[in-house]
């Protein structure tokens, strides 16, 4: 693994079944990628975008798609101030642990002290916590969690 990297681990209840159900892990795998198009193929080399209503915020391409075990994609922020940083990589590893799934998010190949490292360090815990709430309760966490942009504005 290249440094610096960011690792975040979370565990998820396996829903509605006594044993680990493949469909649920597949659901988690799918939930990890926002699909701009229904026709997006989760295959190595496929492009993807995390799009906001106005413009894409992150784009990249799928590096590994091995459902329901591993998903990796490149991470290329579209904001001008992060544009100069090198393209980083996000890897999701899903492991069954009895009746729960262990999800490990590894974001590496990041620029030391860069904007991306700062953003994702506060971003992934929120996103992954919300994902856990969706999968376990059907409800996401409030959408108005403080974004890193709002945080920077307030800290100035």
Partner 1 sequence: MNIDNFKPAIVYAIYIASTPEKVWEALTTAEFSRKYFSALAVEAELKVGGAFVVRAPDGSVHISGEVIECDPRAGSPSLERELAGAGREARRHARHLRDRACRRRRPADADPGPRPADRRRHLSGGRQGWPAILSSLKSLLETGDALAIKWSRRSGCWRR
Give the interface with partner 1 as residue ranges (CB under 8 A): 8-13, 97-100, 102, 125-126, 129-130, 132-133, 136-137, 139, 141-142, 144-147, 150-151, 154-155
Which of 33, 29, 32, 28 lies closest to 47 in space, CA to CA? 33
Least Å distance, CB 35 to partner 1, is 24
CA-based nearest residue to 62, from 51, 53, 49, 52: 49
Report residue 43 as tokens.
């295959």
Q: Measure the CA dihedral 33/51/119/110, to 10°.
A: 60
Quote the least distance from Cβ 12 to partner 1, whole Å: 7
CB of 118 to partner 1, least distance (A): 14
Q: Which is nearer to partner 1, 26 or 99 (CB)?
A: 99
15 or 40: CB nearest partner 1: 15
Our CB check for partner 1 shows the closer of 23 and 146 to be 146
Q: How far is the CB of 130 from partner 1 (least distance, A)?
A: 7
- Can you name the residues that pair with 51 across neighbouring β-strands? 56
Spatial distance between the Cα atoms of 77 and 71, rounded to a whole number of angstroms? 19
């Amino acid at each position: 693994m290249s440094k610096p990297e960011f690792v975040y681990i979370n565990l998820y209840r396996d829903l509605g079944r006594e044993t680990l159900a493949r469909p649920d892990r597949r659901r988690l795998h799918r939930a990890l990628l926002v699909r701009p198009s229904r026709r997006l193929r989760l295959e190595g080399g496929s492009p993807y975008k995390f799009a906001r209503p106005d413009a894409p915020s992150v784009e990249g391409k799928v590096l590994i798609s091995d459902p329901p075990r591993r998903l990796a994609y490149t991470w290329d922020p579209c904001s001008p101030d992060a544009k100069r940083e090198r393209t980083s990589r996000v890897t999701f590893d899903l492991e069954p642990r009895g009746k729960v799934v262990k999800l490990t998010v590894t974001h590496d190949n990041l620029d030391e002290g860069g904007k991306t490292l700062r953003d994702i360090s506060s971003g992934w815990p929120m996103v992954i916590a919300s994902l856990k709430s969706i999968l376990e309760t059907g409800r996401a966490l409030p959408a108005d969690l403080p974004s890193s942009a709002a945080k920077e504005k307030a800290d100035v």
